[in-house]
Amino acid sequence: MKKIDTHLAGCFIIVPEIHRDARGSFFESFRQDHMESFLGAPIHFVQDNQSQSEYGVVRGLHFQTGQYAQSKLVRVLEGTVLDVAVDLRPQSQTYGQHVAVELSTENQHQLFIPKGFAHGYAVLSPTATLFYKVDQYYNPDFEDGIAHDDAALHIDWKLPVSHRKLSEKDVSLRNLTPKQ
């Protein structure tokens, strides 16, 4: 496994070493020791989540607050998504900035998103199955989100607006509060 840092501190891409032959392929999708080496600290994932969506679905931008803030390790099992993380850490030099990474069956890249970030993705293939680990349990009383189309974020979702499919909840999300 190889770590590729993004311009957002603590948010990074993991590229696996894929072994291919005539039978197919093999790779390690997660190793605790490598993850902790990349982070420079222990991490304990407590919940695995999986979602399946069709082309044009945009989910997010979601996060949890307070003691239920989550770090996430995201990968695609099938298809292609544009995975987006937005820095919401108030003291961060990169507050309000984002990273957008294409995750797919072909590249098998993963994105690590630390606590203090919003997360969302857009499905670019006919269907996609996303799988992610989190280090804090889901708690609906602590969930929040920001609008995926907030003009201040400048996110290119790689989808025409007319093809985007959002949940009622995601349509009603607010824009990001400017840094004080």
Catalytic sites, residue numbers: 62, 132
**Alpha-carbon distances of 176 from 34, 122, 146, rounded to whole Å:** 34, 19, 6
In terms of residues, how long is the chain? 180
Using CB atoms within 10 Å of the CB of residue 102, give its burial: 0 to 12 exposed, 13 to 18 middle, 19+ buried: middle
Nearest to 59 by CA among 176, 171, 140: 171
Cβ proximity of 94 and 11 under 8 Å: no
Contact 79, 123 (CB under 8 A): yes
φ and ψ at 36, to 5 degrees?
Answer: -65, -35
- Alpha-carbon distances of 61 from 33, 37, 104, 121, rounded to whole Å: 30, 28, 19, 8
